[in-house]
């Protein structure tokens, strides 16, 4: 049976923003709206969507970098908001993050050895006398050995791919079970991306990690994900096993995303017409009522003024759309 590591229930993140000469106009950005999601041990869930979909905000909420406006996040059955003291430190050790820009996430004035030893000594998870051997193991685990070639050097002395391996090693230093990876390969050369993705896949299975993988790149998602969650303007619009999403997408927005990468979609290969949308995404301060996609959806109907709920399509696949079957181009 699947062991749940993270459960997100009715999560909302709303930011107030001010505009006008004296900041007199106050509006609310609905960055994340009513999202429910679970993440299991040894599972990769990919959060996908264009910029402004809310995936990064949700990822930050999972690692504790962003507070929810309402709703809750449970870590191994415990409400994260109710944690304090040692249980809160345990959460921060267990849930780690890998950022998009490995250079920006490493301190340029610290050697790699210092950067990797620091969390161990801060959290007292390893005795000082054993820290060097532990760092050596970490570097070996991410494919950087022999370690003496790396520990005394600074981040700028490495390539982008090596720096991302170092950032992954640092994320693993406290032996976490949950890793949130925010676009971890999008800043890397194409030739390096596969290596880093394979590394993450290997680490996931060796360490039984739960991997929450944030990406706008569907090619990468198809490669690494077990399950896919599609977000649009703060809402979860479709979720399911990776093959169901790529081969039988139901929600028109998912079809649009796949249509932009036609070689990935078997549905497209089966002569389904490409679904296209018009216009720009609405402002997150004024999302449309009802279905948030209705101002751009070619299938919008009167009923779409009523917000659709996630409908179970079977096999763990569900979609928030009033259409009965998968969308067909009009
Ligand atoms: Fe389009 Fe309506 Fe489905 Fe929204 S609910 S995606 S507007 S058909």
Residues above pLDDT 90, as percent of the chain: 75
Residue 328 has pLDDT above 70, yes or no: no
The phi and psi torsions of 67 (rounded to 5 degrees) equal -80, 140
Binned at pLDDT 50, 70 and 90, residue 166 comes out as very high
Query: Tell me, what's the pLDDT at 265?
Result: 52
Q: In testing the pocket of ligand 1, which one of 318, 321, 330 has its CB within 8 Å of the most ligand atoms?
A: 321
Query: Tell me, what's the pLDDT at 19?
Result: 73
Distance (angstroms) between ligand 1 centre and the Cα of 6 equals: 29
The DSSP result for 198-232, as a single string, is HHHHHHHHHHT-EEEEEES-HHHHHHH-SEEEEEE
Distance CA 277, CA 116 (A): 46
Distance (angstroms) between ligand 1 centre and the Cα of 318 equals: 14
Residue 133 has pLDDT above 50, yes or no: yes
Query: Tell me, what's the pLDDT at 28?
Result: 86
Lowest model confidence (mean pLDDT) among 37-46, 276-285, 292-301, 302-311? 276-285
Which ligand 1 atom lies nearest to the CA of residue 294? 7
pLDDT tens track for 202-240: 999 999 999 999 999 998 999 999 999 999 999 999 999
Is 308 a pocket residue for ligand 1 (Cβ < 6 Å)?
yes
Residue 290 has pLDDT above 70, yes or no: yes
Position of tokens 């870590």? 75
Distance (angstroms) between ligand 1 centre and the Cα of 116 equals: 48
- Cβ–Cβ under 8 Å, residues 163 and 98: no
List all residues 6 or more positions away from 207 whose beta carbon is below 8 Å from its beta carbon.
Answer: 172, 177
- Protein residue with least CA distance to atom 7, ligand 1: 294
Q: In testing the pocket of ligand 1, which one of 230, 282, 291 has its CB within 8 Å of the most ligand atoms?
A: 291
Residue 54 has pLDDT above 90, yes or no: yes
Is 235 a pocket residue for ligand 1 (Cβ < 6 Å)?
no
Output the average pLDDT for the chain: 90
Which ligand 1 atom lies nearest to the CA of residue 237? 6
pLDDT tens track for 108-118: 999 999 999 99
Query: Tell me, what's the pLDDT at 148?
Result: 86
Binned at pLDDT 50, 70 and 90, residue 325 comes out as low
Residue 271 has pLDDT above 70, yes or no: no
Distance (angstroms) between ligand 1 centre and the Cα of 230 equals: 14
Q: In testing the pocket of ligand 1, which one of 323, 325, 328, 330 has its CB within 8 Å of the most ligand atoms?
A: 323
Q: Smallest Cα–Cα separation from 37: which of 14, 13, 59, 65?
A: 59
Is 54 a pocket residue for ligand 1 (Cβ < 6 Å)?
no
């Amino acid at each position: 049976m699947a062991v749940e590591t993270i459960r997100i229930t009715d999560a909302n993140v709303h930011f107030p923003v001010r505009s006008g000469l004296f900041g007199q106009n106050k509006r609310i950005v609905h960055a994340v709206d009513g999202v429910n999601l679970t993440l299991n041990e040894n599972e990769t869930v990919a959060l996908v969507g264009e910029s402004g979909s809310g995936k990064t905000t949700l990822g930050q909420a999972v690692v504790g970098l962003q507070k929810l406006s309402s709703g809750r996040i449970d870590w191994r059955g415990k409400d994260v908001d109710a944690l304090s003291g040692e249980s809160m430190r345990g959460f921060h050790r267990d849930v780690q993050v890998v950022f998009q820009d490995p250079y920006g996430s490493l301190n340029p004035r610290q050697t790699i050895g210092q950067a990797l030893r620091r969390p161990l000594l801060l959290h007292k998870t390893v005795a000082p006398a054993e820290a060097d051997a532990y760092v050596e193991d970490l570097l070996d685990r991410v494919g950087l050995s022999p370690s003496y070639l790396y520990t005394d050097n600074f981040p700028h002395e490495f390539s982008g791919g090596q720096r991302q391996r170092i950032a992954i090693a640092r994320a693993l230093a406290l032996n976490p079970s949950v890793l949130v990876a925010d676009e971890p390969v999008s800043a890397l050369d194409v030739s390096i991306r596969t290596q880093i993705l394979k590394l993450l896949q290997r680490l996931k299975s060796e360490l039984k990690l739960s991997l929450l993988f944030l990406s706008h790149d569907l090619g990468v998602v198809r490669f690494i994900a077990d399950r896919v969650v599609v977000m649009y303007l703060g809402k979860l619009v479709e979720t399911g096993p990776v093959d169901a999403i790529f081969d039988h997408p139901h929600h028109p927005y998912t079809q649009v995303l796949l249509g932009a990468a036609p070689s990935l979609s078997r549905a497209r290969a089966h002569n389904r017409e490409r679904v296209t949308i018009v216009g720009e995404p609405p402002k997150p301060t004024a999302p449309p009522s009802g279905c948030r996609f209705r101002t751009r959806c070619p299938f919008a109907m009167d009923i779409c003024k009523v917000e659709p709920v996630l409908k179970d399509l079977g096999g763990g696949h569900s979609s928030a759309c009033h259409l009965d079957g998968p969308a067909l181009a009009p």
